[in-house]
Amino acid sequence: MKGQEWYQQETVVEDYEDKRFSRGGGRLTDRLEKEAVLDGLEPVDGKRVLEIACGTGRFTVMLAECGADITGLDISEPMLQEGREKAQRAGVADTVEFMRGDAARLPFPDDHFDVVYGIRFFHLMDTPEEYLAEMCRVSSEQVFFDTYNRYSGRSLYNWALPMGSRLYSRSEVESLLSGAGLELAGERHEFVVPFGLYRKLPGGVAGAFRALERTIQRTPLGDPLASISYWNARVA
């Protein structure tokens, strides 16, 4: 499993949001990812929700603000601490719980949540079937996650990343879902321009790339070229 030690380092944690989401194209990707998560999960008001590998709580806090009764679980205590501070600033510290744990062994009984999701996590896994089975076990209704796509711009610069990423084809995802007893209920494909490149662009240039991307997305090439896919599955 990649990333377990990486995200324990203080400098990595301090830089996590600043490097990726605080400027120009990075801010745009943060907004687009949040849109994709809301699109896949809403309505969440009153639902019991678990986010695995929640990191600094970007989505956890957003969903608490939407009325979810939410738990964020991550293996890195420094990432969780960032999440707790974010929840405090947003005034939702009472409705969100951040908990240290390993997503391979979720400390909850079967069907404990209505919804279980994880974002920017499946690319770190060596054994995705094991993690998906755990997500499925503790969810009574819905499981939602994203994958980095094998046949996309993502594969072009994967070699340059410190950990590399596991990439998935559509058929691999389908077989993972059916192996876990999940039914695909919806999907969304985004980022023809991989978000690692987006974040290096100033806001105006990123906006122009986004406009171009939206034009491509409306063509038959849009979905196959997307570097990220969001998978919305129902517990069968």
Point out which residues bind ligand SAM (CB under 6 A).
1, 3-4, 7, 52-55, 58, 74-76, 79, 102-104, 119-121, 124
**Among residues 88 and 215, whose Cβ is nearest to ligand SAM?**
88
**Among residues 8 and 218, whose Cβ is nearest to ligand SAM?**
8
* Shortest CB 124 distance to ligand SAM, Å: 6
Of all residues in the shown chain, the one whose CB is closest to ligand SAM is 55
Is the distance from CB of 60 to CB of 44 less than 8 angstroms? Answer: no
Determine the residue type at 142.
Answer: Q
**Among residues 52 and 177, whose Cβ is nearest to ligand SAM?**
52
State which H helix or E strand residue 51 sits in. Answer: strand 48-52
- My answer on whether omega of the bond before 43 falls inside 30° of 0, hence cis, is yes
Tokens of 61: 């806090």
**Among residues 79 and 173, whose Cβ is nearest to ligand SAM?**
79
Task: Find all residues with CB under 8 Å of 18, minimum gap 6, and list them.
Answer: none
d(CA 39, CA 51) in angstroms, rounded, equals 16
d(CA 216, CA 226) in angstroms, rounded, equals 10
* Shortest CB 31 distance to ligand SAM, Å: 13
* Shortest CB 61 distance to ligand SAM, Å: 11
**Among residues 52 and 167, whose Cβ is nearest to ligand SAM?**
52
Helices 58-65, 77-90: crossing angle, 10 deg rounding: 30
Q: Do you know the residue count of the chain?
A: 236
Could you tell me which of 108, 141, 155, 104 has the C-alpha nearest to residue 125?
104
* Shortest CB 219 distance to ligand SAM, Å: 28
* Shortest CB 130 distance to ligand SAM, Å: 10
State which H helix or E strand residue 83 sits in. Answer: helix 77-90
Question: Would you call 143 helix, strand, or coil by DSSP?
Answer: strand
* Shortest CB 23 distance to ligand SAM, Å: 16
**Among residues 6 and 221, whose Cβ is nearest to ligand SAM?**
6
